[in-house]
Chain A
Amino acid sequence: MSVTYLEAIREAQAHLLREDERVYLYGQDIAGKFGGAFKATKGLAEKFPGRVLNTPISEDAMVGTAIGAAMEGMRPIVEMQFADFSSIALNQILNNAGTQFFRTNIPCPITVRLPSGGTKGSGPFHSQSMEAIYSHYPGLVVVTPATVEDAYTMLIDAVAIDDPVIYCEHKYLYYHLKADALPKDRLPIGKARIVRPGRDLSIVTYSAMVHEALAVAKEFSASGVEIEVVDLRSIKPLDTETVLASVARTGRLLCVGESFPWGGATAEVIARVATEGFHLLDAAPARINARDTPIPYHPNLWVDHRPNAKSIAAKARRILAE
């Protein structure tokens, strides 16, 4: 028996609906037999009547109602059909959910699921990664699970957190990633994970790019270069300690992110390492992101728009040569 990343998300929601009567799911096309554009809620509406609710195409109001319900003691999980459409709900997420606790002392425990990242042919409006925007604003927790195990435990943990959580799930991993079974143990949100230990270069990354980085590390290992791969797991909070410890071991840092290059998670990691761990560096830190254009439709363009094992390897070689 194996479990895909998508099934882990579905199973986590089933678990939450079973165990916590405050939980309900709210999103477009998620109910009935249809079960969501990606089937992340398939079968749940039948099993949990009245708690898996279809919504109008109203991202702002979807999140607005979730905020109200959360302040009233519920634990809503909002599914955005695509992360890209959460831009319509930015105001509710950033200005209403994100400011609520600081202003009023009333916690706002909503979880917003964002099907994120690029897949072939999806184009500019069905491929975005939004973690940088949400991390920039105060008051939100932003998680980016890269494994089946994390997809499961981090969604359960996200709902338990008394604050708004932006759960960025990667669409490319939905079917590509499989585990033998659902996990029994968990690493808490806020802790990064050393996915592969190394001594020559730290690649700090998250979400689908973890797997690109692992492919590069494996390739380099054959020629005796050991790359350490750090999976951040959550962008906010950012586990600076684990990153600094890794750079202390390797002396070299490459950050990889799938989102646009201006600012963002990779820039933040480099800023922290440069300011807090400058003495640990043997070479200038570097980063790779997507290109600074909208995400193109055609696969020939798309593969070149985002970082991939080839471009990461090329960058790694340059850093190692310094």
Chain B
Amino acid sequence: MLQTATRAGAKTSKKDPPHERYLEAFRWMLQTRIFEEKLTSLYRGGLITGGVYVGRGQEAVSTACGLFLQKGDVFGPLIRDQAGRAAAGEPLLNVTRTYLGSRQGSMRGRDGNIHRGWPETGQLAMISHLGSLISVVVGKLMAKRMKGEKNFIGLTTIGEGGMQTGATHEGMNIASVEKVPLVLVAVNNHFAYSTPNDRQFACAQLVDRAPGYGYEGHEVDGTKLADCLDEIGGAVERARAGGPPQLVVASLLRLAGHGEHDDASYVPAEIKKESWAQDCVPATEKLILEKGWLDAATLKQWRAEISAEVEKAVETAQREAAPVASEEDWCAISTRGMVDAPVLAGE
């Protein structure tokens, strides 16, 4: 783990990275990239059933989403938030357990891939219906307030496609009505599965919606780590200080298919030349080396350490037992006396 605490409050010089948690954040980005490449290779090798959904190109934004969360906060990560989930405390082992269907993962083989939660650090398990997590996060924040908890915030993410659902509209509005400390990070990765922006929305900028919901709105280039840390970190700080709900819209290009089954051949070549389409992981690494914030040997060592962590998480999960249908407790509710008996018996 990086020792960044000593940097806090220190006067920034030209020799320092542009954000006090910059290098720590980059390590999460790098871990995510190496880890997700491993998941992809497992999927291509037929070792993962279902699908693999990666956040390639979104590591900077996602890391910033997870990095500023504290104990007692609520996190509602979505499909491309491996980096944020890890930065917010979910171990790699829970990810491999979920992807590989180990009974010991938080979803126990009952749900897979990105549909997983990590309650230990307040991470909710998303459902596939976009926008529906926003109001759930709001409800958690309402309950925390009712119980007298203090100093908590909720952060959840959405894409430019998910921004167009009714649930997102209702969820964003009710957060304002209930005056809860919510940060909504909307990542415009320019393709909702295969559909580009012009068939998703017709307002000039998604951030223009912020004042309509009573939010403070911010835009950020999602490929620039320092900007992501500043904007998302700032939004978290303002929400924690009692400010209105915060909308941060990040612009970037999804550098993978919707899932690893998808070759994304519908993405036109010219869009890849846009400044916001660059790959944030090598771009950040290049800057770190150029500025001398870390040397090549250290980065090499990080890679080796991360690869070892990834291999260990995969190997451990692969050794663990898969769920067995005949041993499964086929029960959808927690109250035994309320189970509809003939249905339970599968008759």
Which chain A residues in 272-322 approach chain B with CB under 8 Å?
272, 275-276
A103 touches B138 (CB 8 A): no
Is B139 positioned at the interface, with any CB of A under 8 Å from its CB?
A: yes
With A72-B144, A73-B147, A95-B132 given, is the CB distance from A61 to B138 under 8 Å? yes
Taken residue by residue from 233 to 267, chain A's Cβ proximity to chain B (1 for < 8 Å, 0 otherwise) reads as 00011101000000000000000000000000000
B163 CB → nearest A CB, Å: 15
Contact for A141 among B106, B129, B167, B333, CB less than 8 A: B333
Which chain A residues in 192-233 approach chain B with CB under 8 Å?
none
A58 touches B143 (CB 8 A): no
Taken residue by residue from 58 to 70, chain A's Cβ proximity to chain B (1 for < 8 Å, 0 otherwise) reads as 1111111111111
Is A188 positioned at the interface, with any CB of B under 8 Å from its CB?
A: yes
A-B pairs under 8 A by CB, number: 151
A37 CB → nearest B CB, Å: 19
A71 touches B140 (CB 8 A): yes
Contact for B127 among A99, A138, A189, CB less than 8 A: A99
Is B320 positioned at the interface, with any CB of A under 8 Å from its CB?
A: no
Contact for A68 among B115, B138, B337, B341, CB less than 8 A: B138
Is B223 positioned at the interface, with any CB of A under 8 Å from its CB?
A: no
A139 touches B147 (CB 8 A): no
A307 CB → nearest B CB, Å: 24
B338 touches A61 (CB 8 A): no
Contact for A95 among B127, B143, B173, B178, CB less than 8 A: B127
Tell me the complex Cα distance, A272–B347, Å. 10
Is A106 positioned at the interface, with any CB of B under 8 Å from its CB?
A: yes
Is B295 positioned at the interface, with any CB of A under 8 Å from its CB?
A: no
- Which residues of chain B have C-beta atoms less than 8 A from A140's C-beta? 333
A91 touches B167 (CB 8 A): yes
Is A107 positioned at the interface, with any CB of B under 8 Å from its CB?
A: yes
Contact for B138 among A65, A76, A101, A105, CB less than 8 A: A65
Taken residue by residue from 30 to 54, chain B's Cβ proximity to chain A (1 for < 8 Å, 0 otherwise) reads as 0000000000000000000000000
Is A49 positioned at the interface, with any CB of B under 8 Å from its CB?
A: no
Contact for B139 among A69, A106, A139, A240, CB less than 8 A: A69
Is B268 positioned at the interface, with any CB of A under 8 Å from its CB?
A: no
A60 touches B135 (CB 8 A): yes
B140 touches A102 (CB 8 A): no
- Count class of interface residues, chain B: 35 or more
With A58-B170, A163-B333, A240-B342 given, is the CB distance from A102 to B110 under 8 Å? yes
Is B166 positioned at the interface, with any CB of A under 8 Å from its CB?
A: yes
Contact for A162 among B141, B166, B335, CB less than 8 A: B335
- Which residues of chain B have C-beta atoms less than 8 A from A163's C-beta? 333-335, 338
What are 24 of the A-B contact pairs (CB < 8 Å)? A56-B170, A60-B135, A60-B166, A60-B171, A61-B134, A64-B135, A64-B139, A64-B170, A68-B143, A69-B139, A71-B139, A92-B167, A95-B132, A96-B129, A99-B332, A103-B111, A104-B106, A104-B107, A104-B119, A106-B119, A138-B332, A189-B338, A237-B339, A275-B347
- Which residues of chain A have C-beta atoms less than 8 A from B341's C-beta? 237, 240
Tell me the complex Cα distance, A99–B173, Å. 25
Considering the complex, give the chain A residue whose CB is closest to the CB of B139.
Answer: A68
Which chain B residues in 119-174 approach chain A with CB under 8 Å?
119, 124-125, 127-129, 132-144, 146-147, 166-167, 170-171, 173-174
Contact for A69 among B140, B337, B340, CB less than 8 A: B140
A162 touches B140 (CB 8 A): no
Is A24 positioned at the interface, with any CB of B under 8 Å from its CB?
A: yes
B338 touches A65 (CB 8 A): no
- Which residues of chain B have C-beta atoms less than 8 A from A65's C-beta? 135-136, 138-139, 142, 174, 178
Considering the complex, give the chain B residue whose CB is closest to the CB of A107.
Answer: B334
With A60-B166, A99-B127, A103-B111 given, is the CB distance from A276 to B342 under 8 Å? yes
Among A96, A236, A238, chain B packs the most CB atoms within 10 A around the CB of A96
- Which residues of chain A have C-beta atoms less than 8 A from B128's C-beta? 95
A64 touches B167 (CB 8 A): yes
A68 touches B107 (CB 8 A): no
B173 touches A56 (CB 8 A): yes
Is B202 positioned at the interface, with any CB of A under 8 Å from its CB?
A: no
Considering the complex, give the chain B residue whose CB is closest to the CB of A110.
Answer: B139
B170 touches A61 (CB 8 A): yes
Taken residue by residue from 7 to 31, chain A's Cβ proximity to chain B (1 for < 8 Å, 0 otherwise) reads as 0000000000000000010000000
- Which residues of chain B have C-beta atoms less than 8 A from A55's C-beta? 174, 177
B135 touches A68 (CB 8 A): yes
Contact for B333 among A24, A95, A101, CB less than 8 A: A101
B143 touches A72 (CB 8 A): yes
Tell me the complex Cα distance, A58–B347, Å. 39
Q: Beyond A56-B174, A98-B332, A163-B333: 19 further Cβ-contacts under 8 Å? A: A55-B174, A60-B170, A61-B134, A61-B173, A65-B135, A69-B139, A96-B129, A101-B332, A103-B107, A104-B125, A107-B334, A161-B338, A162-B335, A163-B338, A237-B340, A238-B340, A272-B342, A275-B347, A276-B342
